[in-house]
Amino acid sequence: MKRTTTSADQPAHALLGLELMRFACAVSVLLWHYQHFFFQGGAPVGFETSAQPLYAWLKPFYEAGWLGVQAFWALSGFIFFWKYALPVAQGRVSTRRFAVLRFSRLYPLHLLTLLIVAALGLWYRQLHGSDYVYQYNDWAHFALQLFMASDWLGRSEWSFNGPIWSISIEVLVYALFFVLCKLGLTRWWQVLGLIGASGVVYALKLTDHPIVLCVFFFYLGALTHLAHEALVKRPRWQQHAVQAAGLLAVAMGTALLMSGKLRAMFYVAVLTPVALIVLLDWVQPRSATAIRWLNRLGNTTYASYLLHFPLQLLLACLSSSLGFALPLHEPAWVLVYLIGVFGLATLVYQLVEMPAQTWLRQRLGTH
């Protein structure tokens, strides 16, 4: 692979469009999980999707916000190919270094939220005699969660901090990515082959294991990175032409989706690469304040993803024990929910994630 203007040696602020997209994906998942507020035990009570606040405006998120996970996977593929593909292939990033970097980034907050959910789950069970939303909260599933392996056998038994399922699958794809890079399988046609193979497996329903979709979207993001590398070396008019063609494809996909002729999953497979290319070109702020805020939004995404369910569980316990009802149908409550999650995520990133990450990397070494 050849170094280009988007290699890992370039400043991270050149990829600020990715931070905005990460934030949008996080909002998508949070709004999809707004339905958790209506749960009593393992099922919603008096819940209608269309009765959720601001439904006319937020319908795509309420109906299919879970697809933000697939977009996250594609973002990971883009970032990993940008940052690691060439260094790993050239032997400049060892297995130990790669593992420590990933472990220190993901595990501390996962462990913290797992313990919090386990404790709050006991409180909720004491109040209601059942578990909240996710029902497989026994020692066996706790052990799987402890090793970040909750869904390695397939996504069938939701437990504890349920949203971690997608991270547990992504960890497997990180390992696959590292091995394939070590073997030098980083060229565009090899990446396209992985996308095609996983797409065929998914289309033929040969297995329902979520790793298939994770591989598909992760390497779709990787292919988008390779396409972006090639595109930025072309004249501006050609870049604009490609963007226009991509936006036209998204518009056609939107029409097909609304008419029921295109599945939402396939729509996201079209939307995500186009959004990545467009945002990378369009989001180029020169203001230091804007750059700082975009970075801050991106930095909150992992914490918001792992914190929103513990926060919902805490509110469910408090409302039951103190005897008050949450204003779930009020538009203001949606804003309070989102602001609360991202505000808490900002604090957790600064006070927990970064200190823990730094401490682990110092102790374990990254050389």
Q: Is 0.85 topped by the overall pTM?
A: yes
User: Partners of 43 in the beta sheet?
Assistant: 40
- Mean residue pLDDT of the chain comes to 93
The three-state secondary structure class of 43 is strand
Contact 161, 354 (CB under 8 A): no
How many alpha carbons lie under 13 Å from residue 75 in its C-beta half-sphere? 24
pLDDT exceeds 80 at position 9: no
* Predicted confidence (pLDDT) per residue in 21-79, tens digit: 999 999 999 999 999 999 999 899 989 999 999 999 999 999 999 999 999 999 999 99
In tens, the pLDDT along 276-319 reads 999 999 998 888 898 999 999 999 999 999 999 999 999 999 99
Residue 357 makes CB contacts below 8 A (sequence gap 6+) with 104, 105, 108
Q: Is the pLDDT of residue 327 over 70?
A: yes
Give the whole-angstrom CA distance, residue 165 versus residue 168. 5
Q: Cα separation of 322 and 318, whole Å?
A: 6
Per residue in 260-272, pLDDT (tens digit) is 999 999 999 999 9
pLDDT at residue 335 is higher than 50: yes
* Contacts with 61 (C-beta within 8 Å, 6 or more apart), sequence order: 27, 28, 31, 32
Give the residue ranges of DSSP H helices in the chain: 16-32, 55-64, 68-80, 86-89, 95-128, 139-146, 165-182, 188-203, 211-231, 236-258, 264-282, 288-299, 301-322, 331-348, 354-364
Contact 155, 210 (CB under 8 A): yes
Quick count: other Cβ atoms within 10 Å of Cβ 319?
A: 14
pLDDT band at 155 (very low <50, low <70, confident <90, very high): low
